[in-house]
Amino acid sequence: MDSLITAASRALTAGDPLGALNRVALRDDAPALALRGIAMAQLGDFERAKALLRRAVRTFGPKEAVARARCVVAEAEIALVSRDLTWAAKALDTARATLEAHGDRVNAAHARYLEARHLLLIGRLEEAERILAGLDPTPLPPAMRTAHELVAAGIAMRRLQTQAAHAALARAESVAHRAGIPALEAEVDSASHVLNTPAARLIGQGEERLLRLEEVEALLASEALVVDACRHVVRDAHTVVSLSRRPVLFTLARLLGETWPECVPRDRLIAQAFRTTFADDSHRVRLRVEVGRLRTALSPLADVRATKHGFELVPHSAGEVVVLARPIEEKHAAVLALLADGEPWSSSALALALGTSQRTVQRALDALAAEGKAQSFGHGRARRWMTPPMPGFTTTLLLPGPYPGS
């Protein structure tokens, strides 16, 4: 490897893409194309970066399998950052196997971390955790150890294990400082900020206040009966009852939880649950039927009793009933939660992350665009969507992935 390629590679490792381009910008040999592609990716020009890396793969000779594999890993990282979640996982796995077979353990580990980050992004926490458990970050360079701790922190935050998340982020901050890469330190700071901003609202007994993630964790571990409007479940510290597929029942449960220990008038329950301002005998009959279904569903946790004027929620053992709601009520909150990371998303990537159809996501994006909450650029398959992060709030509770005990 000549001195310019070596110097450019060191500049990229240090997070200096302009320094790298100063050395190889006018060269079209395979190593220079690969380094130019990585530099353009660091500068945010992902389309140009992918084109350069693909040229590099074609230019490398048949005996340069390791170099081609490194380009595949770099292209996978670009796809992840640009939220193109449909990239070929099989190609990345083949590249990782090639790197391991040739003793390039650092880039092989990088491929593993990319796979774990991809799984974390779409809410497959168990698989991401298995990958992380199989990696020993000790012999890896500081930048790679930082990536390890960031993935560990992300998994812990999704599981509402805030103590583990704090510990992982503290390790990440220390290692990132040793790496001396400003962009890496900024990523750690951004992840740390999530733990210190409001994540949900607590509603109960006529009062409302914001909660941080660690306060949400403490609430779910307490003896309170929680009507969770983030995941559409009703739960205490030991039992979880999901109402995510029964929206009418959850609406009734939330109204009963917000008003506890008082009863909710029948007319209000009918208006909110059935979305009507007019109540006749048929609505009252339907309300009795739905309350009966809710009583059966919540039987492990509470009873729903009729009163003279309405219905009330009576927990079996919990000392209080509270509602855990999103920090900002929004019809398409899950889509906004993903867009809030500031990265450009395709509608297909959003659909994959949310586990829904692309058409459903597209309707949500169109509605958000009409309200000025999302914007797009590009056309056709290259169209991407993004929005600035919601100021002052973290969206962790809206992202894919189960709560503890779910």
Q: Is the pLDDT of residue 404 over 90?
A: no
Give Cβ neighbours of residue 338 (< 8 Å, ≥ 6 apart).
345, 350, 353, 354, 399
pLDDT over 70 at 1, yes or no: no
> Per-residue confidence at 301, pLDDT binned at 50, 70, 90?
very high
Is the confidence at residue 128, as pLDDT, over 60? yes
* Tens-digit pLDDT profile for residues 203-224: 988 788 999 999 999 999 888 9
Lowest mean pLDDT among 138-142, 308-312, 382-386: 382-386
Average per-residue pLDDT in the chain?
86
User: What's the pLDDT band for 345 if we cut at 50, 70, 90?
Assistant: confident
**pLDDT given for residue 192 in this prediction:** 87
Strands of 200-204's sheet in order across: 207-211, 200-204, 321-325, 225-228, 233-235, 240-242
Structure tokens at 348: 């297909």
Which DSSP string do the residues of 133-171 spell out, in sequence order? HT---TTS-HHHHHHHHHHHHHHHHHTT-HHHHHHHHHH
Q: What are 153-163's pLDDT values in tens digits? A: 999 998 889 99
- Predicted TM-score (pTM) of this structure: 0.78
Q: Is the per-residue pLDDT at 329 higher than 80?
A: no
In tens, the pLDDT along 59-104 reads 998 889 999 999 999 999 888 887 777 776 788 899 999 999 999 9
- The predicted model gives 28-36 an average pLDDT of 92
pLDDT interval class at 277 (50, 70, 90): confident
What Rg do the C-alpha atoms of the chain give, in angstroms?
A: 25
pLDDT for the residue 149: 93
Examine the pLDDT at 395 and tell me if it is beyond 80: no
If DSSP codes are grouped into helix, strand and coil, which group holds residue 384?
Answer: strand
Give 238-258 as a DSSP string: S-EEE-TT-HHHHHHHHHHHH
For 196-224, b where at least 16 C-beta lie within 10 A, e where not — what string? Answer: ebbbbbbbbeeeeeebbbbbbbebbeeeb
